[in-house]
Structure 1
């Protein structure tokens, strides 16, 4: 580590926190490949789109030419078809200026009537004014598999913009994928776009007020590749006590990285045509090897309100030139940004704008910045961030102390005095959803296991349903009933569930089952995403020499193997639920129907002798069909379909086995309501069972958890700090672990925050780029359990 990063022992821990280095956040990519997971789940962050009423633009993970998905546009039939547009601006232009550029995109159509137009244009400034050149290519095939649409466009050496637009006028479905730009037959690499880092931040973290660099830097992790190392230094500031030090990480000869500085809040009705940015910089190298001078890139952003809080979209991009070269001493600089384009859009103060600012770093050597200030039309402008929610009031905290019921982990479930009130809350419930904000918290596993043991052993519940593989859980259920097998080995087959708390729960339930043999317990899975496992288990329910069933099971297995790539026909379960032409589902459903009919007929003729076995065979036939259908749907429809299947499976098991059951799943699954466009499992169950279904949500305050990486490995991850105005900000003022009933609350001044949508940790299995989402606790859950401190759950070693 270089001496510039060493801290004096006199600074202590506080100085280390203030000066600790951070890697700059990556800029966004245009995403010409149209990948659904690009830019931290914001694949169209740098694309503008216009869609007529009744149309939609979605990413499709089941139909693609390359990568993991494509962009699907659906346009409705109309007497006078209106056009849909998606467009972007190519930046930077260095690799295209003065070149003959080929622009291409792969297109697929279904039931299409109309034209598809690929258009590219570039604009330059000449002594005669603005001049623009464009080229286009048109396609109108009604039903066609992937085919390439391409054009060629000469780009001026002085071009300052290069725009690409897809125009679709007509009705039907169109898929777009794998857009490319190439010069002399060689594809141009896609580079990060300067001044776009703000688009990758959670919306609430975009606006910056720390322009004098006196306060601690924000969290900037999650870069695609390191662009620069950024630190706060205090050796010799120009102003105040600290300044910003930026060291480029790229090697000489590589493209200069752009380090994101922040975003400046702008409000349209404040007026203003020009923003002046001023500050000081220095560069502690000199001589012939100092390289090009640093510069700034900026991008105007506009805020689009949405029910989940809104999002920022990119607008005009600009760069600076002819700034004074920084030397060894602090040197002032200034540049102006025209704002006409931003302020002409709206005068509504709710429609915020922002200026995202990055500094382009030359190599080699460090650049230091200090004391950025601003002027709007010649008048000083002091930027402000969004209003910060106030902390909970004394009255709100006092109210919480009267309603929060403390919980404990160390106490055995059999000594569950702290759980007695929670048991009373359940009332007539026959199916209770136990939520979890993440599947990687040790404390969540421990608390849910303790509650499960208490309700089964003390309150007459007879089983546990898991958001896990039904086939894997069937082996666990057999262990509970018979004691056959090693529970640690059986849990290893359930990825994410082989934890010490679950193992201890399973062993405890086995002991309870031995003491109460007349009351059989149930552990079952309801997940639909493993049709191969369901099919393999179904094979175990059929005799090996069954000449009727075994050949059909082998055909089903082959269909699922061949289904690694989607069929040519697109699935539309809303319009054609039977799907007679679907190359996967039609033969799969035929085989499943033959098996179901055969099993039923043989059962009624005396084979097999157990109707219970027939019910299990039917259940696993349904699981295979659910899993196969789920895979054929686009991302949005697939999750809604999965949630409906989870509810169907939970309800079936509840009816089949009777008794009261617990349902352990993610918060978003057990919730009674999420959003109008999402229908979780809990909403289906509440509509079916009424008050006999109860939803308990789980909240976490701070600490860490285990997150599942793309490789399947579980690794520690940090919980985002509790934000002001989040539900956790109120609940953490009470006991370290507690629960709160929500269904019978009456609105008062002291609990009004519970009657509003607030931020809430929302994670799941993997670490989330934005761990907070807007939720409505009272609408989603009947009660919530809160754990202030979380640690990563350890996974058991696989036998």
Structure 2
């Protein structure tokens, strides 16, 4: 299916709610449904049913209900290890910036100029919130991935890549570095784009404001750069893919920041469309047999058409992947918790801290699973059966990098038809904050994401 435009299709899913079914609220018990779907989760062997559900799918997206929870990262890594080792998945793609993740990729694929320990790559993260990737849980996985790759030929090693759109200035610098060494004739067009952005001091908000109030824009310079590098990559893709991808990021970021200043919803769509396009390029780059594990927040992973996002005109990565590749080739896995602690900030750019997560509100997905599921459980959703837990619309918690637990009862919840949004779910009743790594002083010049921190 072609990409690059907003999807308008209605939810095509086996879990569409029966006509006339009302939303369920407080006082409704789903205990029998939960018991029928749940299997205890104690170790990686208990993920067998989920691997069976994956089957021959090319794309497995693993979510998280927050960016700061140890158990989400831990189990996502354990499942990814099995997908790589047993099903031959080709690369991991995450809700992170391309240049930052490229340093990780070089470390885990054991390239000659990369450090022996991925900790150096993770410690270099500077964009707030650094804890999202610079944490002990990701380091443990990256060390495992490097050890795995050392046992394979370079052409068979598993990569680690970023899908996100924020690294405008970093990607411009990466392009200039590449061109100076490999294609100096293209330097003038890259410098024209760099100099257009230079007056804004790497402050995306200043650039975005200028495009709105002074009719200034670097769009033409960015398009010229993208066209040149796209053509060069088509002629010699093996050595030029990263330069092309960085040019796509510059173009996507420039579009994103112009959309951000005009309002949040359109910028969300620009961002998720960019992530989907990047995922498509990576799958093509790795070859026709390539398979990918995606790590991102539930709000990106779970099909937007099964939430109130669709009524607001919002799309997301999980929806776009299903539309492009087909539901048989894409498996979407959500994660959730009832209570615990989380790493987050009080405001955008604020210092991280451990924040309590109160018990989930009554009538929510989390409340139903707390009442009926084992403390840790895996749920795979069967095809064709009509189960109230999966077909009713229920509130489903989503915590961003900015979090205020006192607002739990009127915020942080997305109305969701669980069986249409995901193909499976990992449940951890009580969770703990993840373990951030020490990093350098970070900037908070990037505009706050929409919705906050997801």
Normalising by the smaller structure, the TM-score range is 0.7 to 0.9
SS across alignment from 2:277:
helix
Deviation at 1:397, TM superposition (A): 2.3
Distance change >3 Å, CA 463–CA 565, structure 1 → 2:
closer
Hey, what does 2:241 align to over in structure 1?
615
SS across alignment from 2:343:
strand
1:574-723 matches, cutoff 5 A:
583-597=217-231, 599=232, 611-633=237-259, 634=262, 635-658=264-287, 659-673=290-304, 674=307, 675-676=309-310, 677-690=313-326, 691-708=328-345, 709-723=347-361
Deviation at 1:548, TM superposition (A): 2.5
Contact 1:391–1:729, Cα closer than 8 Å, also in 2:
no
Structure-1 separation of matches of 2:180 and 2:41:
50
Q: Deviations over 1:725-784 (max 9, x none)?
A: 11111211211111212251512xxx4243111111111222154222322212211111
Indicate the structure with greater helix content: 2
Structure-1 separation of matches of 2:50 and 2:333:
10
Structure-2 separation of matches of 1:648 and 1:388:
38
Distance change >3 Å, CA 772–CA 594, structure 1 → 2:
closer
Deviation at 1:545, TM superposition (A): 8.6
Structure-1 separation of matches of 2:240 and 2:189:
17
SS across alignment from 2:439:
coil
Match of 1:490 among 92, 100, 121: 121
Deviation at 1:647, TM superposition (A): 0.7
Q: Deviations over 1:356-382 (max 9, x none)?
A: xxxxxxxxxxxxxxxxxxxxxxxxxxx
Q: Deviations over 1:98-144 (max 9, x none)?
A: xxxxxxxxxxxxxxxxxxxxxxxxxxxxxxxxxxxxxxxxxxxxxxx
1:161-172 matches, cutoff 5 A:
none
SS across alignment from 2:64:
coil
Structure-2 separation of matches of 1:550 and 1:460:
39
1:717-756 matches, cutoff 5 A:
717-732=355-370, 733-744=372-383, 746-747=385-386, 751-756=387-392
Deviation at 1:570, TM superposition (A): 4.7
Distance change >3 Å, CA 449–CA 545, structure 1 → 2:
closer
Structure-1 separation of matches of 2:334 and 2:301:
8
Q: Deviations over 1:337-393 (max 9, x none)?
A: xxxxxxxxxxxxxxxxxxxxxxxxxxxxxxxxxxxxxxxxxxxxxxxxxx971162x
Query: Mean alpha-carbon deviation: is it higher for 477-486 or for 676-685?
Result: 477-486
Hey, what does 2:65 align to over in structure 1?
437
Deviation at 1:547, TM superposition (A): 4.4
Contact 1:720–1:771, Cα closer than 8 Å, also in 2:
no
Structure-2 separation of matches of 1:434 and 1:662:
7
Q: Deviations over 1:406-428 (max 9, x none)?
A: 212xx4xxxx3211111001022
Structure-1 separation of matches of 2:315 and 2:382:
20
Indicate the structure with greater strand content: 1
Deviation at 1:543, TM superposition (A): 2.6
Q: Deviations over 1:648-680 (max 9, x none)?
A: 111211121132110000111112223321111
Hey, what does 1:400 align to over in structure 2?
34
Contact 2:33–2:389, Cα closer than 8 Å, also in 1:
no
Structure-2 separation of matches of 1:515 and 1:545:
31
Distance change >3 Å, CA 388–CA 466, structure 1 → 2:
closer
Distance change >3 Å, CA 455–CA 586, structure 1 → 2:
same
2:402 maps to 1:766: yes
Q: Tell me which stretches of 4 or more aligned residues in structure 1 moved more than 4 Å.
A: 544-547, 567-571, 594-597
Distance change >3 Å, CA 685–CA 434, structure 1 → 2:
same
Hey, what does 1:98 align to over in structure 2?
none
1:526-541 matches, cutoff 5 A:
526-541=163-178
Structure-2 separation of matches of 1:536 and 1:645:
20
Contact 1:541–1:613, Cα closer than 8 Å, also in 2:
no
Hey, what does 1:20 align to over in structure 2?
none
Structure-2 separation of matches of 1:506 and 1:388:
42
Structure 1: any 5+ residue segments left out of the alignment? 1-386, 572-580, 605-609
Distance change >3 Å, CA 513–CA 790, structure 1 → 2:
same
Q: Deviations over 1:511-562 (max 9, x none)?
A: 1111122522111111012211222222332235954233333332232233
1:767-786 matches, cutoff 5 A:
767-768=403-404, 769=407, 770-786=411-427
Deviation at 1:584, TM superposition (A): 2.2
Deviation at 1:493, TM superposition (A): 3.1
SS across alignment from 1:710:
coil
Q: Deviations over 1:453-503 (max 9, x none)?
A: 121112221221011011111111111222531311201234221111111
Structure-2 separation of matches of 1:567 and 1:764:
25
2:433 maps to 1:792: yes
Structure-1 separation of matches of 2:217 and 2:25:
55
Distance change >3 Å, CA 594–CA 514, structure 1 → 2:
closer
Structure 2: any 5+ residue segments left out of the alignment? 1-23, 201-205, 441-454
Contact 1:435–1:670, Cα closer than 8 Å, also in 2:
yes
Distance change >3 Å, CA 582–CA 743, structure 1 → 2:
farther
Contact 2:163–2:279, Cα closer than 8 Å, also in 1:
yes
- Cα RMSD after superposing both structures: 2.4
Structure-1 separation of matches of 2:282 and 2:71:
28
Structure-2 separation of matches of 1:745 and 1:663:
26
Contact 2:302–2:334, Cα closer than 8 Å, also in 1:
yes
Structure-2 separation of matches of 1:583 and 1:759:
41
1:300-311 matches, cutoff 5 A:
none
Structure-2 separation of matches of 1:798 and 1:614:
31
* TM-score calculated relative to the size of structure 1: 0.46
1:5-16 matches, cutoff 5 A:
none
Deviation at 1:450, TM superposition (A): 1.0
Q: Deviations over 1:598-641 (max 9, x none)?
A: x36xx85xxxxx53112332222111101111101122211111
Structure-1 separation of matches of 2:182 and 2:137:
41
How many residues align? The count is: 384
Bigger Rg, which one:
1
Structure-2 separation of matches of 1:582 and 1:798:
35
SS across alignment from 2:276:
helix
